[in-house]
Structure 1
Amino acid sequence: MAAVMKLTEDTPLTSLFEFIPESKELLMEYGLKKIIDDGVYDIIVPRLTLKGFMNLMNLSEKKREELWSKLEELYNKKITEAK
């Protein structure tokens, strides 16, 4: 059985994208597209955690909760599929 990643605010984005590829598309709605468009993806993303991403994108508390809820859905779906 493959190792299961634990989803926390300290999860690195690179680990998140590897474990849940769909999360990259989700984060596009919350500012990842700007990082890509600005040409700094390869510099910034390997250093960012989920919390760091939310801080960098200056997400409101409501947006953070919304994003977290959607990420948990994707995570739980992935965990269920792995069983």
Structure 2
Amino acid sequence: MATQARRRKRDDSADAAVPRATVAQKDWLRRGLDQPGGKLPLFDRDGQRMHPGTVRACMQRGWAEPWFDNPLKPDWLVCKLTDAGRRIVSQG
């Protein structure tokens, strides 16, 4: 019984090491799957600018990366989906 508890604790800690995407992050990343080059949208489904925290969190986890600078709006991040981002949204 103690062995099972230790194994379960070890499995739980391994899962904790893998960052999990929020619903908003997954939704944003999924939208890049069908776009040329994996371009991620600047706006959400309601036409509002994507929350910068969502964009930055995905970039920090390696799910998105900067694509190019936007000369008209230099404070906006134009990003594309990475292979790690594709894996996150395809995990179901």
Name the TM-score, length of structure 2 as normaliser.
0.31
Instruction: Name the structure, 1 or 2, with higher relative contact order (CA <8 Å, separation 6+).
Output: 1
Answer 1 or 2: which has greater helix percent.
1
Name the TM-score, length of structure 1 as normaliser.
0.33
Q: Of the two, which has the highest radius of gyration?
A: 2
Answer 1 or 2: which has greater strand percent.
2
